[in-house]
Structure 1
Amino acid sequence: MTGPAQQAREALGGRLREIRKDAALTARALAAMHGWPRSKMSKIELGHQTPTESDVVTWCRSCRANDQIPDLIASLRNLEAAYLEIKRMRLPVRQRQSIKWEAETKLMRWYEPWVIPGLLQTPAYVETLMGRVLDFYHGTRTDLEAMMAARLERQHVLYRGDHRFHFVIAEQALHTTVGDNDIMIGQLDRLLVAMSLPRVALGVIPADTEYLVPQSNFCMFDRRKVLVETISAELTITQPREIVLYEKTFHTLTEQAVIGAAARALISAELEKRLG
């Protein structure tokens, strides 16, 4: 059965095969250089066997591709952990893992196109949003209370240490109704309060902004990792070349967002509309 981990293993093997071919080495020749069985070469390149870090380093050095080592090692380390099934990622233990990551991060950069970022959500917003997610994936809300507690505990990082937070949201996140009007009124008011926090920068991308870059929600932890949520999995991005792309994307989105009084005006306009 082909799953995300197997696909990632095949992609890694394909990159190693390309490196070998670019160096004009046959699989037999590379194997002979290091006393590897010929079958090992084919299994790695086809994604049937996971190479060790030592294999990757030796492979790249033999092919004069030392510059590829950091990315390939990151891919290898992330091979089994990069794709976390959505059913597990929503558990309280996953929320508590986020507490650790956030505590270790100096600069967190977070983009959301549809909903309010988790660290800025009110308890009522959290309860409704997580309840909907649990209904969709599990059909039960058994873990809701523990998940809520962990999510709200995560928010303490906004007031501790020397962390900095840069949130960029699409204007649609202001309009997406989570729960009911009363919940949204409390949530929009919470955003206005959060904007005054000294460690928080919040930008809103107006709805009529030109499309410039591919978009999905993502959260950057310094330059160490990026988390991206899809329908079926949470991706943990650690390859340096990919992190550079997310930095480029966040920079572009930041330039498109309005901040300060202009952002406050968009939030206040939606709040006033809901207040009637």
Structure 2
Amino acid sequence: MLPYTIISLLCLALLLGMYNARKTRQVHVLLDQVHDQAHQQPVTLFRQLEALQGLYVELALRRSLPDTRGWAASPDFLLELVRHARSAVPLTVVECSSGTSTLVLARCMQLNGAGKVYSLEHDLQYAEQTRQQLHLHGLHGWAEVLYAPLQPHSLAGEHWPWYGLADVPAGGIDMLVIDGPPQGTRAQARFPAGPLLFPRLSDNAVVFLDDASRPDEQAILQRWQQDYPELLRSSRQCEKGCAVLQRRAR
């Protein structure tokens, strides 16, 4: 029989071997992920450049758009909005959070010759920046930035900081774009758009949700589907995820 010390050393060596094998596998997995990301980044960048070029062509813009990186809506999401607005010709467009999307949607209204964009913005400085951009592009007659500070709303037994709706037109909403409030305001920050605005949707309305790939937005979509089963959910291939909701065909 082997002495106890030798047996202990053999067990320790075996455990070390298993540990090293596991770590080696983790390193290989990490390297594969880095390789995939390195390969994907140029593809993603190229897609965004294509979408940005598509925006300038389809909207025939004479001035450059504001930045579309960081917190701003990505070009591919903006292009989805443009193509829908140009084909569906919505008369009342409401968006949660203002910015570059306000400009491109206002330009769609101008090209369509009908419709208006109402953009809810809780940040006064940012609201003013968007208004200045609208004037710069000659689009201030087609969009209105509504300064709407976040107010407490009681929904589903919870308290939510969300936009004030006093200035939103009472008529039906033909197109709803949800890209705010910021995620940092609270968990599932964009959930109130459902109970507060979905009842105002017109029969042919379409809802676009940006950042739909995030866990919070996925949870919100599940809650909306439970509360509004008449809305059919689909998705578009966008950098940050894009969910689309519209009424099921009768």
Tell me which interval the TM-score lies in, with the shorter structure as reference length: under 0.3
Structure of larger gyration radius: 2
* Greater RCO (Cα-Cα under 8 Å, separation 6 or more): 1
In proportion to residue count, which structure has more strand? 2
Q: TM-score w.r.t. structure 2 length?
A: 0.28
